[in-house]
């Protein structure tokens, strides 16, 4: 059986990302010592082999990310805020490039998780990164970029102000709105909605907001001056 060098290199890189192999500069590639971390990373192929529905990913995010945002507001360092602003600037910069915008959008969520200083949250996000990358690009392709910019700016300001409840509420609304808009785009009624003809009436989310409709929000042009 003939296997190209490119395929072998990609296979090695994948095993490195799983934590099964490690590359040492000037020495080569080695099998890592067995550990709990390696066993945890080994779950990735099981997740990748199953077809993951984008709404299932968003349900996971709705449960986890609101708590992540609240914890980040309590624990974020000045450097974490700098990192959030840098990724937000990339989102603004790449509004003409869906793939790059989606990459920066996901990176924002990963930076937010890093700001919690919770190693479990950080590790789980790294394990799920491939799934999150695909779902994020699909979301941006269908729904556009306005919501990401709008909500991420609000989350940054809530984190900066150390307002954990506000950060949690904003993230909750962000993900719930994304779910509702995707379902509306697919012609599927979201939970808490009734459809009459082409009209959809949505109930407010858990934060009491009534703005979760399928109309895009105002487009933020960039971050405000501080």
Encode pLDDT of 74-110 as tens digits: 999 999 999 999 999 999 999 999 999 999 999 999 9
CA distance 207 to 190: 17
pTM beyond 0.85, yes or no: no
Q: What percent of the chain has pLDDT over 90?
A: 50
- Mean of the per-residue pLDDT values of the chain: 78
- Alpha helix (H) residue ranges in the chain: 5-18, 36-41, 43-49, 54-75, 78-93, 98-114, 119-127, 129-143, 146-160, 164-186
Instruction: Report CA torsion sign: 100, 102, 106, 111.
Output: positive
- Cite the residue boundaries of each domain of the chain with CATH code 1.20.120.530: 51-202
Instruction: Report CA torsion sign: 57, 63, 64, 67.
Output: positive
Q: Which CATH architecture has domain 51-202?
A: Up-down Bundle (1.20)
- pLDDT, residue 86, reads 97
Say which residue, 182 or 210, is predicted with more confidence.
182
pLDDT score of 192 more than 80:
no
Q: How confident is the model at residue 13 (pLDDT cuts 50, 70, 90)?
A: low
38-56: per-residue pLDDT in tens? 445 544 544 444 456 888 8
């Amino acid at each position: 059986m003939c296997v190209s060098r490119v395929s072998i290199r990609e296979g090695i890189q994948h095993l490195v990302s799983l934590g099964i192999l490690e590359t040492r500069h000037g020495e080569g590639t080695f099998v890592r010592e067995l550990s709990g971390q390696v066993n945890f990373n080994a779950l990735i192929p099981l997740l990748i082999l199953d077809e993951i529905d984008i709404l299932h990913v968003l349900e996971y995010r709705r449960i986890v990310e609101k708590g992540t945002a609240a914890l980040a507001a309590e624990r974020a360092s000045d450097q974490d805020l700098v990192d959030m602003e840098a990724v937000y600037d990339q989102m603004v910069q790449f509004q003409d490039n869906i793939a790059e915008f989606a990459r920066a959008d996901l990176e924002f969520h990963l930076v937010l998780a890093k700001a919690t200083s919770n190693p479990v949250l950080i590790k789980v996000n790294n394990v799920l990164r491939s799934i999150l990358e695909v779902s994020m690009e699909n979301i941006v392709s269908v729904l556009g970029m306005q919501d990401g910019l709008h909500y991420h700016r609000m989350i940054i300001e809530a984190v900066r102000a150390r307002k954990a409840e506000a950060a949690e509420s904003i993230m909750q609304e962000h993900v719930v709105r994304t779910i509702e808009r995707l379902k509306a785009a697919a012609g599927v009624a979201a939970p808490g909605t009734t459809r009459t003809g082409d009209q959809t009436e949505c109930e407010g989310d858990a934060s009491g907001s009534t703005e979760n409709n399928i109309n895009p929000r105002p487009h933020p042009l960039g971050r405000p001056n501080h």
